[in-house]
Amino acid sequence: MTNKLKEKLARGEVVLGTFITLNCPDLVEIAGLAGFDYCIIDTEHGPGNPESIQNMLRAAELRGMDAIVRVTEPSATTILRTLDVGASGIQVPQVNSPETALDVVRFAKYFPRGERGACLTRSSRYGFVPGLAEYFEEANRDTMVIVHCENRMGLECLDEIAAVEGVDLIFVGPFDLSQSFGIPGQIYHPVMVEAVGKALASAKKAGKPAGIFVSSPEEGRARIEQGFTYIAYSTDSLIFAETCRGIVKGIRD
């Protein structure tokens, strides 16, 4: 199945998504109906596991939206189980060396590009594919591999990480990155401005798109102007909380 998200990014288009941290397929469906290009089902900070995220992936497919899963860590088993239930791709936190990036690609891709374990699961439409070789080719082409730049260690070797064949996108986590620099939450501190600019330059040097987390529409537009094309807007719980606060304030004040 074609990964529309990957195709849009390859054309240089800006794509907009949001993090889904709550175990709720309805929220995924609502995000798709609202017009998001993709969602990131977050199993790092959320309670999801391969069994529960299957229904969230189905909800995304129902509404024509690609679903990326942020995994908990870059082990072969974690990546395998996440992709086998049908994720369009993975986002991997704390990729701080080219060796880790190489492992992530190796675990996410089938032969001849990697060593992903073979089994006819949901990702291969339960075996309703022309053949194993054809499915391997399809999966290797369409599965997105996104690595996080959220630590100064990773930033220092990001040119090498971004150059790894099979890494599709560099995602900047500004809050974790600011914490790594000892200025937690100060994402527009001069040190962070320089760091984010460096990360964007590394992605561009490798000819790959860059993504970033944003907390407001204004910030999203500014990051697009800066050169980011994969915009991850807030999280489901924060969006709901903000809406609830606004309603209560609007009625009571």
CB atoms within 10 A of CB 121: 17
How far lies 153's CA from each of 12, 73, 75, 143, 237, in Å? 28, 17, 19, 26, 30
CA triple 30-215-14, angle to 5 deg = 70
Cα separation, 60 vs 55, in Å, equals 9
Q: Is the dihedral of CA 62, 13, 17, 88 positive or negative?
A: positive
Cα 96 to Cα 53, 61, 128, 170: the distances in Å are: 27, 32, 38, 12
Residue 189 is among the residues annotated as catalytic for this protein: no
Read off the DSSP letter of residue 127: G
Of 10, 45, 216, 217, which one is the catalytic site residue?
A: 45
Q: Which residues are catalytic?
A: 45
